[in-house]
Structure 1
Amino acid sequence: MRIALLPLDERPVNVRLPAEVAAVAGAEVVVPPAGALPRMRVPGDVDVLGDWLVGQCLDPATDAAVVSLEMLHHGGLLPSRLSHDDLWSTLGRSQVLRTIRAARPSLPIAALSVVMRASDSYVADEEPEYWTLYGRDLHAVGADLHRSFLGEPTSGAGARVPHEARADFLRRRLRNHLVNLAALDLVADGVIAPLLVTADDTASRSAGSVEQAWIAHWSRALCRPEGSVVSHPGADEVSAVLVSRALGALDPRPVSIAVACADPLGLKRTAPYENAPVGVGAASQIRASGSVVADGPGDALLVVHAPDPIGGDWRGRMPHDCGREPGPAARGDEAVRSTAAVIRAALDAGAAVGLADVRYANGADPRLVTELLEQGLIERLSAYAAWNTAGNTLGSVVATLRAGVIGRRAGAFDAHAARRLLVGRVLEDWGYQAVVRTRLTGTLDPQAGEDPAADGRGDSYLARARRELAGLLERVSPGARLDRVTLPWRRSFEVEFDVRLPHDRPRGA
């Protein structure tokens, strides 16, 4: 099976992760040439990307397509927040989807779009330059717009933002919101289905959250059948989720995924940077993948290591119970023991288990990983994730679980690809995000834009990161080798590496 993917941007989570998920079921993902993709803030070539998509989709060898509307319309995720393209030029780029649908009426075309974020920070890496001066104030502007819509008192916290910056921010939001509404028309016309409209780095009161409500209103009015438009927290995991959905063509039987959480209240908590409880998000991610939420055992089990009741963020307010600050370590130990017990019981009963560790934002719970390694449970998992936001983590685990179920049913399951994906995620989400990156960041403040890999220090940072990751990899998978370590956006936030497992063939062989 071959799936054409127009990714959200060029980072590994949007290009490489979907391909790794597909490989678990023996399928192939093709992406545009690197030269056409964006380079962080520099947009991709929208004309070349549109032509590439048409060419791939008109090729009879292509069985399905997954299309990021940010890439199609703006040349990538960051360019969608930065470009000054007018509304009509932007909307016109959707015509390629109608061209494809006319030529291949039965080709599955799934699409993803992101509600424009308003980061609650003064870091302008992914935002307009004025974010360094007014970022948190503009986040407050969005929150007040939401409160005003709901008839709630407003704070007036964005009053110091100059008119020019406020107008630029709001007009770009308006353009992108109208593009998202126009995507509903593509669903109503049968051009794309499903459409996932997700929101990252948001809050219960924010510009993005009220826009999600407006999109939900119109999708209920226009789009049938139910479920053709899905909205929940997330972004970078969506391509992998939709790729896993496309894998259903290999075996049409429904995939059922059960959800378990050791903490009775855990699924009701809302994780940092999100606007819905993790239990709601988990169920929505399962449905978005084309699977169903199981009432009983199901074909696979998603175990959720619930958010810490008092929060924790490896790139912000450090977790209290992981040694960086004094705090109630006993509470963390109990949560670890309880989650490990649920995992062991399910594995011993023969379940295919995926672990979504959302206890903290931007990295794993190190105590849980240590416990699972000591009990020999990590290697028995079918999927694992603990990266960035809860939506990112939940979606990638759901996608991997689904790929495994379908691959086994279809006789196409690739155990080596599944093992490589598992080891890679543990090393990145635990080894890099929670351990190595945290250690190398030291006393720097990421929320103020301080980065240990910035200002010409990238080579030194990478050398230290590689040494530490190699040692941690030996704990996760003895005999595995770390071949390459890079920083895709030349900053410490994300990393890319190659893991060579025993019996891997050399590249190009």
Structure 2
Amino acid sequence: MSDPSPRPRIALLPLDDRPVNVRLPGDVAAVAGVTLDVPPAELLPSYRTAGDAAALGEWLLERAADPATVHLVVSVDMLLYGGLIASRTSDDTTRTVLERLDVLREVRRRRPDLPVSAVSLVTRASNSYSAAEEEPAYWTTHGKEIHALGGDAHRLLGETEVLPLADLTPVPADVVSDYSTRRLRNHIANLSALALVEDSTLDFLAITADDTAPFAAGSAEQVWLRHWMRMLPSGRSVLMYPGADEVGAALVARALAAHAGVTASFSVACADADGMTRIPPYENMSLSASASRQIRAAGAVEVDEGGDVTLVLHAPDPDRHDMFRGRPDAVDADAVAGTVALVQARLDAGEHVALADVRYPNGADEALVRALAEADLLGRLEAFGGWNTAGNTLGSVVAVAAAAVVGRAAGTFDARAARIALLTRLLDDFAYQAVVRTDSGAALFPDIYPMTDDAQVAKAEEAIRDELSSLLEAMLPADGVQIAELTLPWRRSFEIGLVLTEESR
């Protein structure tokens, strides 16, 4: 006899097709024993090729029509532009993209009871000449100057005089116009998303800042958005904070909590008190403030002590080192020892400990992970993260840990899925980003741009898989888990795709 009540499902319209935006949210749902639906690959973007916005809107309506769907999680950037890169490069008009918001209004009309959570990004302006693979082509020539223009304009917000463009930047006016009109379109879309909260089309909205700085074009736009968050009565429910690729996972955790009627609680601990006040690289608020918002985004609450989970933070390096540029010149033994001692003490006290390693951008602190492995603590963690920005790490760690709380309360916790989620991040953030990429990246990749040679891609994938398998066996808490698949989804060094499986017994 078939089960009359189908297994609950959450539908996710992801930010793009990369594993952190598709598989990581799936890992979060699996920890709580819930199925996650994502669009078929042929509708999603593929690197610089935008996703099919019209078809993705139809997919969202189809998922909403399924009575087993208990929550929609929507990337506004995917719905409006066809993905993250398309939001920075597409020439779609403001009118065109705003019309695509009607999909969300139609969802509300058809299923007024269906919760809809969404995230919309404040567009980044990379402070680099090497980001043209994800930006308009002129970034190779003018990237740093465009970033500086945004910061200088931000500093002038309180001024009444509008200076001539030539007084602000050497970038040609046609380039500034192309860049700025696209930002203006995206900013109007963010303002429109706030209106969707006010009219109850959306149940929850996160506006997150993708790679920003205290003074930047995106930070200025957040000032204006915050004004409307204050003016609109519902604006107080909107969360705005640094992040991007992790938000899908956080909102899936939020959906899990809402469906189960469970609110996870987090106590935050850090061995370096000063580290809580630091602003991590590529962000514009303190670590403490960012962690608080990530917890709230996942549908959880922060408490002083006695939380369901203790979120341990390995504080940012005060010298702002970046693992993308190689290992730090010297290991901060005191910082490592302090975090290891804190993790050990909290685990020994019987607490569920989730570790967010935000010491360095773009990779875990190798010395920390090796010290935790030596102390036999890795396998006892509830969750781990140490990838890309601090926001990326915080959101993914909180999401997995919150899902575990929900799963245990609902009686659907999947210990195997939790082990897979933990090992995936240890393999990616530590074994690949901090070890293999640092040691072998120069030999395997000619540069960070996508590789065109299939044989070169296959060779790199094989070499990375072999090295990760060795590290998994030698020092990580594998417990019968092995690498079933390893890919380079965008044919570059910056990210890998991992599929893990348990050995047959």
User: So what's the TM-score if we normalise by structure 2?
Assistant: 0.94
1:450 has 2:451 as partner: no
**How far apart, CA to CA, are the structure 2 residues paired with 1:177 and 1:308?**
32
CA contact (8 A) 1:250 1:406 kept: no
**Letter of the 1:87 counterpart:** T
**How far apart, CA to CA, are the structure 1 residues paired with 2:160 and 2:422?**
46
1:103-152 Cα shifts (integer Å, max 9, x gaps): 11121100001101000011201000010110111101111111111449
Structure 1: 5+ residue stretches without partners: 505-509
User: For residues 152 and 126 of structure 1, do their structure 2 counterparts lie closer, same or farther at Cα, with a shift above 3 Å needed?
Assistant: farther
CA contact (8 A) 1:141 1:156 kept: no
Aligned to 2:284, the other structure's residue is in SS state coil
**Letter of the 1:230 counterpart:** L
1:199 has 2:209 as partner: yes
CA contact (8 A) 1:441 1:452 kept: no
User: For residues 90 and 452 of structure 1, do their structure 2 counterparts lie closer, same or farther at Cα, with a shift above 3 Å needed?
Assistant: closer
1:224-281 Cα shifts (integer Å, max 9, x gaps): 273x211000000000000000111343243211100000101111111111111110
CA contact (8 A) 2:363 2:386 kept: yes
Q: Which residue of 2 aligns with 1:485?
A: 486
**Letter of the 2:381 counterpart:** L
Aligned to 1:392, the other structure's residue is in SS state helix
Q: Which residue of 2 aligns with 1:231?
A: 240
Q: 1:148 aligns with which of 132, 153, 156?
A: 156
CA contact (8 A) 1:240 1:396 kept: yes
Aligned to 1:293, the other structure's residue is in SS state strand
Q: 1:270 aligns with which of 268, 271, 279?
A: 279
CA contact (8 A) 2:378 2:477 kept: no
CA contact (8 A) 2:268 2:312 kept: yes
User: For residues 160 and 225 of structure 1, do their structure 2 counterparts lie closer, same or farther at Cα, with a shift above 3 Å needed?
Assistant: closer
Q: How many residues align?
A: 491
Q: Which residue of 2 aligns with 1:298?
A: 307
1:368-396 Cα shifts (integer Å, max 9, x gaps): 10011011100000000000000000001
**Letter of the 2:179 counterpart:** F
User: For residues 135 and 413 of structure 1, do their structure 2 counterparts lie closer, same or farther at Cα, with a shift above 3 Å needed?
Assistant: same
**How far apart, CA to CA, are the structure 2 residues paired with 1:180 and 1:256?**
30
1:129-176 Cα shifts (integer Å, max 9, x gaps): 010110111101111111111449999896221111111000000000
Q: 1:160 aligns with which of 146, 170, 174?
A: 170
Q: Which residue of 2 aligns with 1:432?
A: 432
User: For residues 374 and 110 of structure 1, do their structure 2 counterparts lie closer, same or farther at Cα, with a shift above 3 Å needed?
Assistant: same
1:59 has 2:60 as partner: no
Deviates more, 1:245-254 or 1:468-477: 245-254
1:451-493 Cα shifts (integer Å, max 9, x gaps): 3873533222222212211111112134432222111111110
Cα RMSD over matched residues? 2.0
Q: Which residue of 2 aligns with 1:20?
A: 27
1:328-358 Cα shifts (integer Å, max 9, x gaps): x3xx111111101111111111111100000
**How far apart, CA to CA, are the structure 1 residues paired with 2:100 and 2:177?**
25
**How far apart, CA to CA, are the structure 1 residues paired with 2:148 and 2:135?**
15
* Identity fraction in percent: 49
CA contact (8 A) 2:209 2:243 kept: yes
1:397-447 Cα shifts (integer Å, max 9, x gaps): 111111011100100000000001001110100001111111123499x9x
Structure 2: 5+ residue stretches without partners: 1-7
**How far apart, CA to CA, are the structure 2 residues paired with 1:264 and 1:481?**
38
Aligned to 1:100, the other structure's residue is in SS state helix
Alignment of 1:35-434 (within 5 A): 35-123=42-130, 124-151=132-159, 159-224=169-234, 226=236, 228-316=237-325, 318-320=326-328, 325=329, 327=330, 329=331, 332-434=332-434
Deviates more, 1:276-285 or 1:145-154: 145-154
**How far apart, CA to CA, are the structure 1 residues paired with 2:405 and 2:106?**
34
Deviates more, 1:74-83 or 1:211-220: 211-220
Q: Which residue of 2 aligns with 1:507?
A: none
CA contact (8 A) 2:450 2:490 kept: no
Q: Which residue of 1 aligns with 2:4?
A: none
1:22-42 Cα shifts (integer Å, max 9, x gaps): 110001110111111111111
Aligned to 1:63, the other structure's residue is in SS state strand
**How far apart, CA to CA, are the structure 1 residues paired with 2:154 and 2:166?**
12
Aligned to 1:224, the other structure's residue is in SS state helix
**Letter of the 2:285 counterpart:** A
User: So what's the TM-score if we normalise by structure 1?
Assistant: 0.93
User: For residues 424 and 386 of structure 1, do their structure 2 counterparts lie closer, same or farther at Cα, with a shift above 3 Å needed?
Assistant: same
